[in-house]
Amino acid sequence: MANWVLKGLRTGIRTTSYPAGPDDAPGISPGRPIGTSLSSTTAVDQLVRNCPTQAIAPDGSGIAIDQRRCIHCFRCQRGVDEPPIWQQGFEWAAYVDDQAPRKLAAIFGRSLHIRFVDAGACGACMSEARQINNPYYNMHRLGFFITPTPRNADVLLVAGPVSDAMRLPLSKTYEALPTPKRVVAIGACAASGGVFGPSFAASAGIADVIPVDVVVPGCPPPPLAILHGLLLVVERKPPSNVFSRASGGSKESP
Amino acid sequence: MAVLYRIHDDTSDLASFLELCRVHWRGVVVASADEADNTCRIDCGTERLRDICQWLTDDLGFAFATLVAEQAPKNWLLIYAFYKDAKSPLVRVELKLDAALSVAPSVVDLLHGPSFDWHEREVEDLFGLHFEGHPRLGEFVLHEDWLEGINPMRRDFDANKRFEPRTTEPKWEPPTIVTAPGAFAMPIGPVFSDFAESAHFLLETVGEDVVRTIPRFFYKYRGVEKIAEGQPPDRALLLAERFSGTAAFAHGLAFCQAIEAICGIKPPPRALALRAVLAELERLRSHAAAITGICNSTALAVATSQAALIEERLLRLTCEITGHRYLFGAVVPGGVICNPSQTDCRHLTAAVGEITHELRRLLQMLRYSSSFLDRLEEVGVVTEDQALSYGLVGPIARASGVARDIRKVLPYAVYGSTDFSVPVEREGDGYARLRVLFAEAAQSAGIINKVLSSLPDGAICSDELQLRAGAALSAVEAPLGAAFHWVRLDNGGNVSRYRVTPPSFTNWHGFHLAAENFAFQDFPIILASFGLSNAECDR
């Protein structure tokens, strides 16, 4: 056993400085396309046509992107005449209802207990959600804990388009959470149904079944984006915007 | 007699297998060879199906790969595919049924019957095709609350029509066998544990010891095979990659290989080499994740952290090389998308070298942690006979002494010309599975280094793809085991049938073998040592 203690000590601290400081280590996020002004309507048409999930729409002289639909297929980047700006970073989470963000900050201070539900996710979102527990991201230092039972949870972290058979377990889990409670939907499937829904076997996202408060776009959203989503719930970080417009560029208004 | 057959039977190449088949089944079935695919096709009727399946599996040692059902206007087509070793051809037994007659003979009572079991149940549930003699047909993919008599894979079913939200609760009450006083069935799931995929388990127990586990899956059924129908291959590829995000490259590759086989195109040498590199990078990541899961299930905190560091490092490395942490969008029909520079290749080689070293050190420390070994040894045992009869695949089969690996049996990419070994263990317990994971990770790192050291120059994708009608079965060794993808394209170049047989589907079927007569606290360990994906199984 002493060997393990030594091994741990020798490894040292690997944890990110986010949210206190920035993190731009290579490979922490795939990045994503953002609304861009383009030179011609042909270029706009090409991007709109190439996008398999209708995430790209014409916007003035360029394109706007509905980040909830973007599945990181890179088809607006590879083999096109004029690709949109590809933005690095990971602060992607946004409140669903801008008018009245229902936050938990005042009630819970800074700590949250989280219950994860897999509503038909492909496994990548779940894998990324699992990573927020690893030493690089270590959510415990932020006061976030995973709890095995919904009865002890403040936040439901949900991934997947909600497959038919998971509708009932998901709504039951939601009902089992004591109020006040919040729902964080992670990933393109949870936000919009992704490539699966709506269909005979899956819904068009979590909001079809239970109310959603925070959405974290991405396919899958990297661990730091999921942390950003949780930080939004306790108002410790400003939100991003799910619509990225050509005129607005990368600076999105809250 | 069976023994005699085995001595004389020569299945070592397509021609001799065809000859054997014609001699043995003279006047009974029609056998034909497809040289291009190294496939032998056997057309048979319902009355001979059982005999042929038995001959292939029991006498000749073939393993069952997949059952594909197709609905044509006038008839049903059932395709049973079998594979054996590097020399033998792929065998496709094809059975045509009259459209009005929706009954086929079941083969589940054969010695290797269990490997057909779930396939027949799935076809019955999704197509409404009956298998005469099968003891457990009925609710399988679709649970009790699904409307009776509606089969989503039939041609006349509209995939876009949303289901009506059901008001009745599903009631799952499978037969239990433990009748001792105080015996009860402990439910786990579908929402359980810290981070667990949705699945439901009933543990039959009398208190501390669990006698039997009855699992139920398909909570995550998203109808991937149905919604792929009618889509052009570039859209269906998105589904192939995303139904199991942790094995996205392997399944994307299998789909692309099927399209390439149909359209008769061959990717350039550099693309084939890069496919092997990326596939091994995914395997390395997936195995590191499985090792993290096993350490976590035994509550060995420092080891969990160490393995998780390796896993995250591999995710970042993958993102640096391909632009995505899970290799989404990396493979296309005709080649690959990403073209690493020489600097990238050097970086990859160096990083994989360091990771191999760290994994070796981790295994060394785990091997001397007796409290850890106590939890794994003799836990969740699957014997070699069981693995063969259930047709198990991947690291789980290889930990039980079955040395089958698609990279050797049906080589693709550059595996045929790359030197690597297939690690095998005999015990079939949790510790054997852990050792196989470590050994395979080391082999993967070796393959990456070997292929990168002689990476051919040139194009990474062949020229314009000409889609045409046809069908093909492609196989890859996904991180969790053998995956088979059957794709049929119609005259317009759209997908008209897509059938995926992922390794998790094959191996979850064998899970109950390992989850028998164990102490309650061992359940998470058995689960982690299997390390399967429900997203992959359920589709």
Which of B216, B232, B264 terminates a domain? The answer is B216
Which of B132, B149, B170 terminates a domain? The answer is B132
Kindly state the tokens that stand for B97: 């049924």
Residue B417 domain-assigned (yes or no) = yes
Residue B520 pLDDT grade (very low, low, confident, very high; cuts 50, 70, 90): confident
In total, chain A counts a number of residues equal to 254
Strands (E), B225-296: none
**Predicted local confidence at residue B165, as pLDDT:** 67
**Predicted local confidence at residue B16, as pLDDT:** 82
- What CA–CA distance (Å, rounded) separates B432 from B398? 9
Tell me the pLDDT tens digit for each residue of A129-186: 999 989 999 999 998 999 988 998 999 999 999 998 898 889 999 999 998 888 999 9
State the DSSP string of B158-195.
-TTSPPPPP-SPP---------STT-EEEEE-SS-SSS
Residue B11 pLDDT grade (very low, low, confident, very high; cuts 50, 70, 90): low
Residue B330's nearest CA partner among B386, B283, B271 is B271
**Predicted local confidence at residue A101, as pLDDT:** 55
**Predicted local confidence at residue A98, as pLDDT:** 62
The pLDDT of residue A103 is above 60: no
**Predicted local confidence at residue B103, as pLDDT:** 86
Identify whether residues B31 and B53 lie together within a single domain.
Answer: yes
CA gyration radius, chain A:
19
* Residue in A130, A148, A195 nearest the CB of B238: A195
CATH number for region A32-90 = 3.30.70
**Predicted local confidence at residue A227, as pLDDT:** 93
Say yes or no for a CB contact (<8 Å) between A166 and B198.
Answer: yes
Tell me the pLDDT tens digit for each residue of A191-231: 998 899 788 888 889 998 999 989 999 999 999 999 999 99
Identify whether residues B271 and B212 lie together within a single domain.
Answer: no
Average pLDDT score over residue span B174-201: 85
Tell me the pLDDT tens digit for each residue of B36-51: 778 888 888 888 888 8
Q: How many domains are contained in chain B?
A: 3
The pLDDT of residue A1 is above 70: no
Share of chain B above pLDDT 70, in %: 97
Mean of per-residue pLDDT scores for chain B = 88
Kindly state the tokens that stand for B221: 């059924």
B217, B508 contact by CB (below 8 A): yes
Q: In chain A, which residue's Cα lies nearest the Cα of B241?
A: A122
Q: Which helix (H) or strand (E) holds B408?
A: helix B406-409
**Predicted local confidence at residue B18, as pLDDT:** 83
The pLDDT of residue A249 is above 60: no
**Predicted local confidence at residue B249, as pLDDT:** 95
For residue B19, count other CB atoms closer than 10 A to its CB: 14
Residue B506's nearest CA partner among B528, B467, B480 is B480
For A89-101, letters b (16+ CB in 10 Å) and e give: bbbbbbbbeeeeb
Which residues, including other chains, have CB under 8 Å from residue B331's CB and lie 6 or more apart?
B249, B252, B253, B256, B275, B278, B337
Domain span at residue B191 reads: 184-216
Identify whether residues B384 and B479 lie together within a single domain.
Answer: yes
Q: Which helix (H) or strand (E) holds B360?
A: helix B342-367
Between the alpha carbon of residue B34 and those of residues B42, B90, B263, B424, B521, the distances in Å are 11, 10, 15, 32, 52
Phi and psi at residue A114, to the nearest 5°: -120, 135
- Pick the residue with more confidence: B395 or B463? B395
Cα angle A10, A13, A16; round to 5: 155
Residue B383 pLDDT grade (very low, low, confident, very high; cuts 50, 70, 90): very high
**CB-CB neighbors (< 8 A) of A117 in chain B:** 191, 198
Three-state SS letters, A122-150: CCHHHHHHHHCCCCCCCHHHHCEEECCCH
Identify whether residues B58 and B100 lie together within a single domain.
Answer: yes
The pLDDT of residue A78 is above 90: no
Which of B216, B236, B259 terminates a domain? The answer is B216
**Predicted local confidence at residue B10, as pLDDT:** 63
**Predicted local confidence at residue B6, as pLDDT:** 45
Q: In chain B, which residue's Cα lies nearest the Cα of A160?
A: B220
Identify whether residues B193 and B317 lie together within a single domain.
Answer: no
Q: Find which of A19-33, A49-63, B61-75, B426-440 is predicted with most confidence, using mean pLDDT.
A: B426-440
Pick the CATH number of A94-233 from 3.40.50.12280, 3.30.930.10, 3.30.450.20, 3.40.630.30: 3.40.50.12280
ipTM of the complex: 0.91
Tell me the pLDDT tens digit for each residue of B211-243: 889 999 999 999 999 999 999 999 999 999 999
User: Residue A52, preceding bond cis, omega within 30 degrees?
Assistant: no
**Predicted local confidence at residue A251, as pLDDT:** 41
Identify whether residues B228 and B212 lie together within a single domain.
Answer: no
Phi and psi at residue A170, to the nearest 5°: -65, -50
Q: Cα distance from A111 to chain B (closest Cα, Å)? A: 18
Residue B138 pLDDT grade (very low, low, confident, very high; cuts 50, 70, 90): confident
Q: How is residue A19 annotated by DSSP?
A: T
Q: In chain B, which residue's Cα lies nearest the Cα of A76?
A: B329
A17, A141 contact by CB (below 8 A): no
> Looking at this protein, which amino acid is placed at residue B1?
M
Average pLDDT score over residue span B76-92: 88
Which residues, including other chains, have CB under 8 Å from residue A231's CB and lie 6 or more apart?
A19, A93, A142, A237
Q: Cα distance from B484 to chain A (closest Cα, Å)? A: 18
**Predicted local confidence at residue B464, as pLDDT:** 72
Residue B157 domain-assigned (yes or no) = no
Identify whether residues B10 and B59 lie together within a single domain.
Answer: yes
> Looking at this protein, which amino acid is placed at residue B268?
P
**Predicted local confidence at residue B386, as pLDDT:** 92
Say yes or no for a CB contact (<8 Å) between B243 and A122.
Answer: yes
Say yes or no for a CB contact (<8 Å) between A199 and B219.
Answer: no
Residue B220's nearest CA partner among A24, A57, A201 is A201
The pLDDT of residue B255 is above 80: yes
**CB-CB neighbors (< 8 A) of B223 in chain A:** 196, 199-202
The pLDDT of residue A106 is above 80: no
Q: In chain A, which residue's Cα lies nearest the Cα of B312?
A: A131
Kindly state the tokens that stand for B81: 């595919």
Average pLDDT score over residue span A52-64: 88
B466, B455 contact by CB (below 8 A): no
**CB-CB neighbors (< 8 A) of A135 in chain B:** 305, 308-309
Say yes or no for a CB contact (<8 Å) between A126 and B195.
Answer: yes
Identify whether residues B499 and B409 lie together within a single domain.
Answer: yes
Identify whether residues B383 and B467 lie together within a single domain.
Answer: yes
Identify whether residues B196 and B233 lie together within a single domain.
Answer: no
The pLDDT of residue A104 is above 70: no
